[in-house]
Amino acid sequence: MAKVYRQYFAGLAAAGGALACGAVIGWSSPVQEEYTSENDYGITFTTNEYAWTGSLMTLGAAFVCFPIGVLITLIGPKWTMLLMVILFEIGWALMIFAQNKIMIFAARVLTGMAGGSFCICAPMYCTAISQKEVRGIVGSFFQLLITNGILFAFVFGGFTKAFIFNIICSIPPIIFAVVFIFCPDSPIFLIAKDRVEAAQKSMEWLRGKDFDFSAEFNEMKADNAKLKENKVNLGKALCRKVTLKALGLSISLMILQQFSGINAVLFYSSDIFKSTAGDLEPRFSTMIIGVMLVVATIVSLFIIDRYGRIPLLLLSSVFQVISISCLSVYFFMKEKDEKSIENLGWLPLLSICIYILMFSVGFGPVPWVFMAEVFTEDVKGIAGSISATTNWGCAFIVTQVFPILNSSIGGGACFAIFAIISAVGGVYIYFCVLETKGKTFAEIQAELEGKKE
């Protein structure tokens, strides 16, 4: 029997960088009030200026995706992730010792770049090291650690001053590096680099010396030999029909994930709760959101390989439509008559909690797992980067445009748009998206090509 716990350990260790990324994503919400008023740094942002601290993080993440794709191809996902720790620490050092707004903006770009790199590397590494029976679980560790990172930021940011909070946020990347350096490189990457002996040792570590992984290992070598036999330049490889189909599916899921409104809710959760009639302090409301993120992602770990990717996406879509529609109705009522929502202060928190729960079950983890499953090794780095760039580019648009739209057309209309997109997404997923549960990488490629194995 394969030592699955080793695959779990390596997957969780790799996803440790995702925890650091989650802290970057969650950072802007708990410190918004401090940075937009008097603070120990002596740096005060206007509301519009502060919006850039949210969106610049996503812009940094989008910008880094293509260079990361090249790095993954050259040195593999393991050493690419370890290199990004340096970028994380430079970013947090700028934030900790900031003397002006430019240093804070630069820090958000750099930590966004480092965090964004993990969104490509971690899912790729996790799916590459794991057996097909547990690939969905291990691939979802990335989303689990991101949600834990967001909760980490919401809790520590809610109870500490910005200076101490920034120091605390600089610690997870260091812990990640210390743990992850002892994990093996991806056997698929090592085979692609003709380091077969190193790949064999990696498989022995991941599966156990007593487990017969010869069939799996031989399939990896056969897939690599097939790619080398049909080797073309990168441009032609990206233009293969099967690659374009995989890209279309992956990119569409990334677009749907972001335009369902998740980052608008996460980046501006404190602001959203301030505008409601609830009695709970905004910082405690955001902490509840963080807990919901973690709980739902843990649930998804246990069901993603049992029920598959498509059912989880559809379940997520249905409940996102319901919950965001309720939030939209609440804000429409509030905009029409403040008195009409006097007894409905609980509705925004409940709606957002349901939304977060169901997003984290499907739309949170599945697009990243899917991205890491559908591309062949020769294009995985660049094609995955294109998908991730799309994701972060859409996140930038949402985080930048949401506060503007919110002030011009109101929260009701904004959340109605998110609900409509989630509904359209559900229909698209049902008719168009490929199920990858329990399939080898070769079987996924065959199905994308329209073949049956």
Q: What would the pLDDT profile of 336-372 be if each residue is shown by its tens digit?
A: 877 777 777 678 778 888 888 888 888 988 998 899 8
What CATH number is associated with residue 284? 1.20.1250.20
Residue whose C-alpha is closest to residue 25's, from 290, 348, 362, 319: 290
| pLDDT for res 83 | 95
Across the chain, what does the average pLDDT equal?
86
- In this prediction, residue 331 has a pLDDT band, given cuts at 50, 70 and 90, of confident
pLDDT digits (tens, 9 = 90+) for 406-436: 778 888 898 899 999 999 999 999 999 999 9
Structure confidence at residue 283 (pLDDT): 67
pLDDT tens track for 177-208: 999 999 999 999 999 999 999 999 999 999 98
- For residue 255, is it within any domain? yes
Within a domain: residue 198?
A: no
pLDDT above 80: residue 439: yes
Total tally of structural domains belonging to the chain: 1
Amino acid at position 245, single letter = K
Please work out, in degrees rounded to the nearest 5, the angle formed at the alpha carbon of residue 380 by the alpha carbons of 376 and 384. Answer: 135
In a domain, 170, yes or no: yes
The 10s digit of each residue's pLDDT in 24-34 is: 988 988 888 88
Q: Hey, CA dihedral for 277, 280, 283, 289, is it positive or negative?
A: negative
Name the pLDDT band for 243 (thresholds 50, 70, 90).
Answer: very high
**Domain-embedded: residue 203:** no
Query: Is pLDDT of 12 > 80?
Result: yes
pLDDT for the residue 211: 85
202: in domain: no
Confidence of residue 277 (pLDDT cuts 50, 70, 90): very low
**Listed residue (154, 159, 156, 163) closest to 40, CA to CA:** 163
- In a domain, residue 192? The reply is no
In whole angstroms, what is the distance from residue 392 CA to residue 24 CA? 14
Q: Could you tell me if residue 214 is inside a domain?
A: no
Average pLDDT, integer, range 210-236: 84
Q: Could you tell me the residue range of the domain that residue 307 belongs to?
A: 4-183+230-448
Dihedral sign computed on CA atoms, order 112, 117, 122, 124? positive
Residue 408 included in any domain: yes
How many whole angstroms separate alpha carbon 121 and alpha carbon 106? 23
pLDDT at 268 over 60: no
